[in-house]
Amino acid sequence: MGKWGGEWKQVVARLGGGGGRARWERGKGGGIVAIKQLVEVLMLGLLHHPNLVNLIGYCADGDQRLLVYEYMALGSLDYHLHDPSPGKKRLDWNTRMKIAAGAAKGLKYLHDKASPPVIYRDLKCSNILLGESYHQKLSDFGLAKVGPVGDNTHVSTRVMVTYGYCAPEYAMTGQLTLKSDVYSFGVVLLEIITGRKAIDNSKTGVEQNLVAWARPLFKDRRKFCQIADPLLQGQYPSRGLYQALAVAAMCVQEQPNMRPAKTEDPVTGAADDNNNDVQRKIRRAERFGMPVKLSEQDKRNSRAERFGITQSTPAEEDAKKKARLSKFGSASTADPLEEEKKKARALRFAGTKGNGNGKIEQKAAAVTGNAGAEA
């Protein structure tokens, strides 16, 4: 991609304002690209991540500056959740969690890896674009702001965000923090789980606002099935639903300090509910305050993992047993004298470990003597 060199800052200044518009065209060589004019384009040349839309190039024509993005063939998440074409298959649970995990990874990059950190400020379903195999990428950085650095705790700015996704403290004070993005992510995650819109004027009362409708339901686990999108038809893991709702509930807390600092780890855990790794199960349970429920096999695997022991499969165990029997004979044909000697050695060892009165040693010696006499 080319650079604007000395014109870069001038271009940013001239674009000034907000919002952007896009059109799709076929580029050189037949590839389809998105051409979009955006504000605050400086950071676009600095941000590179698999879950952020790629900036392919630019075009300058008079006072116009156009940015050329990669084309995301499946459109936006908003289209798939809220406005699918007739007969189009709805997103299944695994695909929804994959998209949520991708959005969390993109947000983590902006908050933790970008230097200085970037506050996205416009996280919503229409800005989550989907490529082949539903690979997710964040797009449209027109409202993005450089985050607080040094001793600063927030960035003061004019409130500009889509209604329904705006963190309450930002709406009231104009103080923008990384936790403002976390709140918006929680709203998006609720949309993914429920299939509802953040703000739906076609509904009445509290149901118009997704967060206000969901909050009372978070308190009763028996009502979780009422939160899930009916179009899923119950095709989701119950524990996966519980974990995803736990993450969403944490993210939309009214107090910023109650929200998680990072979204990627818990969301990835919820998306990976079918993972059989024992330690992952334990960590997820501890994170959400759930009791740790492990099968007997899981407990054996955990002990083996803790002490670095390689666990054998049931088939391998059977093979080992057959090999021992063929080498030493079955228990019914074992030598009686050898059996008595083994018992004597066991008794002698037990006596030296914990009994100082010598009785066990004497008994062991007597057993050994009897065994020798019989021989």
Active site residues: 122
Q: Are the beta carbons of 221 and 242 closer than 8 angstroms?
A: yes
Count CA within 13 A, CB hemisphere, residue 193.
31
**DSSP symbol at 219:** T
Structure tokens at 328: 């030493």
How far is Cα 206 from Cα 347, in angstroms, rounded to an integer?
A: 75
Q: Are the beta carbons of 262 and 250 closer than 8 angstroms?
A: no
Count CA within 13 A, CB hemisphere, residue 106.
28
Structure tokens at 257: 């300090």
Q: Are the beta carbons of 265 and 247 closer than 8 angstroms?
A: no
Supply the Cα-derived Rg of the chain in whole angstroms: 32
- Sign of the torsion formed by the C-alpha atoms of 314, 317, 323 and 324: negative
What is the β-pairing status of strands 55-61 and 21-26? Answer: unpaired
Residue 107: closest CA among 68, 144, 142, 160 = 144
How far is Cα 48 from Cα 109, in angstroms, rounded to an integer?
A: 9
